[in-house]
């Protein structure tokens, strides 16, 4: 896998919208996020069609692909952040020129629906991409320190490091009320102990599963899987989606599950019931309630990178990213 050059102060970050557009963000929110990135030392620029919108608060395939290609072609751009997630980034996959990306490797970061396009870029160009904050995520005030710390550690330096639990987490609508937030103590949990190391694949589970049966789906044989889902899932659909993914392989090395949103109703009891169905998960390291996905804050991790897992000690270490 190709590891893109790390970001440094003074670098230009291009904001693009391969899923929903920035039209759903407030003017104030855009300014806050832009200033946060500028305070980290970056120059922020926007794709041509980022603020356009159609009936579903996105833009045409052609417009989104144009902004993606231009971001990779532009020699001044060193990193690319997606505005936000959505539902339709997989529409772009057949129309992307992956040779452009391969010839101009650079950091590409986002999560949720961006799992589809980030994974496709990794499988088709061999470029490591990143599951981490969107541009819009930098609007958030409280819990931003943890999120920004691991964003910069993953994308601005290359020495191996441990991903550590946050002190507290939240599942409230922070984008509606930045001040009156409810936080709880964080606790990563072990379903099954053990140590493993290997290539990391995953992200948003239902989005990743959209790639099954296509050339964009990665081989997850002997991989370490990271999966999470949002408030639109329920125990039954998560169980079905997880089963579908696990049936893509005879063997994985470890499974790491991001923390669930309250609205999903996936309680600890429900999750353990689901995991107990799969004999293979009793033979490998499995962690859950980990800091990635649709609760806050989140860390950043590499799609196609390498990681070490010690589930007994709840330790995760990025090795090659």
The whole-number pLDDT of residue 56 equals 96
What's the pTM value of the predicted model, to 2 decimals? 0.97
Catalytic residue numbers? 112, 228, 294
DSSP secondary structure code for residue 89 in this structure: G
Ordered alpha helix ranges (H), 74-197: 98-103, 114-125, 144-156
pLDDT tens digit sequence for 205-235: 999 999 999 999 999 999 999 999 999 999 9
Distance of CA 315 to CAs 2, 190, 252, Å? 25, 10, 18
Residue 189 has a pLDDT of 98
Q: In this structure, what CATH number is given to the domain that contains residue 127?
A: 3.40.50.10740
Number of structural domains in the chain: 2
Asked whether residue 176 falls in the same domain as residue 222, the answer is yes
Q: Residue 211 and residue 118: Cα distance in Å, rounded?
A: 11
Q: Which residues in the chain land under pLDDT 70?
A: none
Q: How far apart are CA 221 and CA 261, in angstroms?
A: 29
Nearest CA among 15, 86, 17, 92 for reference residue 56: 86
Q: Same structural domain for residues 134 and 169? A: no
Whether residues 166 and 108 share a domain: the answer is no
- Structure token pair of residue 35: 């200033």
Please indicate, yes or no, whether residues 193 and 311 belong to a single structural domain of this protein: yes
- Is residue 230 located within the same domain as residue 262? yes
Q: Where are the beta strands (DSSP E) in the chain?
A: 12-16, 43-46, 77-82, 107-110, 129-131, 161-163, 168-169, 184-185, 189-192, 195-204, 224-228, 254-258, 286-290, 301-303, 306-310, 315-320
Query: What angle (nearest 5°) sits at the alpha carbon of residue 226, between those of residues 175 and 105?
Result: 80
Task: Report CA-CA distances (Å) from 245 to 12, 20, 128, 182, 291.
Answer: 37, 26, 21, 33, 21
pLDDT tens-digit map of 66-83: 999 999 999 999 999 999
* Range(s) of the domain holding residue 298: 162-320
Residue 37 lies in a domain: yes
Instruction: State whether 27 and 123 are in the same domain.
Output: yes
pLDDT for 171: 97
> In terms of domains, do 120 and 212 share one?
no
């Amino acid at each position: 896998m190709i590891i893109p050059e790390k970001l440094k102060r003074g670098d230009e970050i291009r904001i693009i919208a391969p899923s929903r557009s920035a039209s759903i963000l407030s003017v104030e929110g855009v300014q806050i996020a832009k200033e946060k990135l500028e305070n980290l030392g970056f120059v922020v620029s926007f794709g041509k069609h980022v603020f356009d919108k159609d009936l579903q608060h996105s833009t045409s395939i052609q417009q989104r692909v144009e902004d993606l290609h231009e971001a990779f072609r532009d020699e001044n751009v060193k990193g690319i952040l997606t505005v936000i997630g959505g539902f339709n980034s997989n529409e772009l996959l057949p129309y992307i020129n992956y040779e452009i990306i391969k010839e101009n490797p650079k950091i590409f970061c986002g999560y949720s629906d961006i799992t589809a396009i980030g994974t496709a870029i990794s499988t088709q160009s061999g470029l490591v991409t990143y599951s981490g904050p969107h541009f819009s995520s930098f609007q958030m005030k409280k819990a931003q320190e943890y999120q920004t710390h691991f964003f910069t550690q993953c994308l601005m330096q290359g020495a191996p490091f441990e991903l550590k639990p946050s002190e507290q987490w939240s599942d409230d609508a922070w984008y509606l009320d930045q001040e009156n937030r409810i936080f709880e103590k964080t606790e990563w949990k072990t379903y099954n102990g053990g140590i493993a190391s290997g290539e990391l694949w995953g992200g948003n589970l239902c989005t990743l599963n959209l790639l099954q049966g296509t050339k964009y789906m990665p081989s997850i044989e002997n991989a370490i899987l990271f999966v999470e889902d949002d408030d639109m899932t329920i125990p039954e659909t998560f169980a079905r989606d997880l089963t579908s993914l696990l049936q893509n392989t005879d063997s994985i090395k470890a499974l790491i599950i991001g923390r669930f949103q309250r609205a999903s109703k996936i309680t600890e009891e429900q999750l353990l019931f689901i995991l107990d169905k799969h004999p293979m998960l009793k033979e490998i390291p499995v962690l859950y309630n980990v800091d990635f996905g649709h609760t806050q804050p989140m860390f950043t991790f590499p799609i196609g990178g390498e990681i070490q897992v010690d589930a007994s000690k709840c330790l995760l270490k990025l090795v090659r990213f």
